[in-house]
Structure 1
Amino acid sequence: MAPWVSDPHSGGINIPTRLKEPIKQRILAYAAKHYAGKYNRIDVRFRGKFCYIDAYLESEVPAKNFNEEVYGCTWEERIEFLRSIPTHLCRLRYSGDAEKWAMAFYTYSNDKYEPCVFNNGTFKGTPEEAFESSAMYLQ
């Protein structure tokens, strides 16, 4: 008989309402302190057992040689459109401990979240550690 093994990337429980705002504020404070100027805004949202962290970045579209006919809009409209597209940083899974979350990166190649480890080398970490681990997308 095989020993029971816990998979941090399955299961989970719904995030209690009382935790949502404090967790969101922790993530936003960490982002502001360590990554100010690397994003336009950070969006933290909750759904069931998951906490999603997205960043909205400044887009770089050279005005020189911009072809309005190709894009069907002005250069300014194109910039505004690109600013409205989120960069998915990570998804956290809650299992009952506000200091030990599982994390998954969004893989654009597969169009889904894939389990990953934190920079600390484990499958569990804090919301701040999750932001730090996924901040490579802000470089």
Structure 2
Amino acid sequence: MSNKVWAYDPQSGGQKIPPAIQPRIRQRILDHADKHYAGRFNRIDVRFRGQFCYIDAYTEPYVAPDFDPSHLGESREHYIARLRATPTHLCRLRYFGREDSWSMAFYTYSQNKYEPCFFPDGGWEGTPEAAFDTASVYLEP
């Protein structure tokens, strides 16, 4: 007799995100970002791969007026353009078959990887909008 017990783990598994819902989810995230975080980013990138939805932001970099990037081998203009083209990873959502119930992993720059995290209400699952709100800590006011 087997002693195996199935346990739900919101940070593993998941289902491939159907192509039919991807545009709707992307638009929900973009609309929420525009409504609540306008001016804090140049653009938001939402992409899908398998059971994951990745959300990145592109922001206007701060470069001190007296900073000279010539020691990096590039002009000030190229340096700023490179920073503008570098995404800020916000979070990764995991799909389990319900459009309003996703798990989330927050991108930690200290570890350079996605780490499981709770939603603000203390639960393991939430909406894409709530995930964006959680990850918006990387978007300067």
- TM above 0.5: yes
1:95 — aligned with what? 96
Post-superposition Cα deviations, 1:62-121, rounded to whole Å, max 9, x if no partner, equal 132x32431212211111110011000000000111110000011122221110001121
Moved more, 23-32 or 116-125: 116-125
Q: In the alignment, is residue 24 of structure 1 matched against residue 58 of structure 2?
A: no
Give ranges in structure 1 of 5+ residues lacking alignment.
none
What secondary structure is seen at the aligned counterpart in 2 of 1:106? strand
Task: List, as ranges, runs of 4+ consecutive aligned residues in structure 1 with deviation greater than 6 Å.
Answer: none
Post-superposition Cα deviations, 1:15-63, rounded to whole Å, max 9, x if no partner, equal 0000000000000000000000000100000000000000011101113
TM-score (norm 1): 0.94
Q: What is the identity, as a one-letter code, of the residue corresponding to 2:110? A: S
What secondary structure is seen at the aligned counterpart in 1 of 2:116? strand
Q: Equivalent pairs: percent with the same residue?
A: 55
Contact 1:63 1:75 in 2 (8 A): no
Q: What is the identity, as a one-letter code, of the residue corresponding to 2:33? A: A
Q: 1:76 to 1:99 in 2, by over 3 A?
A: same
2:115 — aligned with what? 114
Q: How many correspondences in the alignment?
A: 138
1:44-83 maps to which residues of 2 (within 5 A)?
Answer: 44-64=46-66, 66-83=67-84
After TM superposition, give the deviation of residue 5 of structure 1 in Å.
2.5
TM-score (norm 2): 0.92
2:8 — aligned with what? 6
Paired with 1:10 and 1:17, the residues of 2 have a C-alpha distance of 21
* Cα RMSD for the two superposed structures: 1.3
Q: In the alignment, is residue 127 of structure 1 matched against residue 132 of structure 2?
A: no
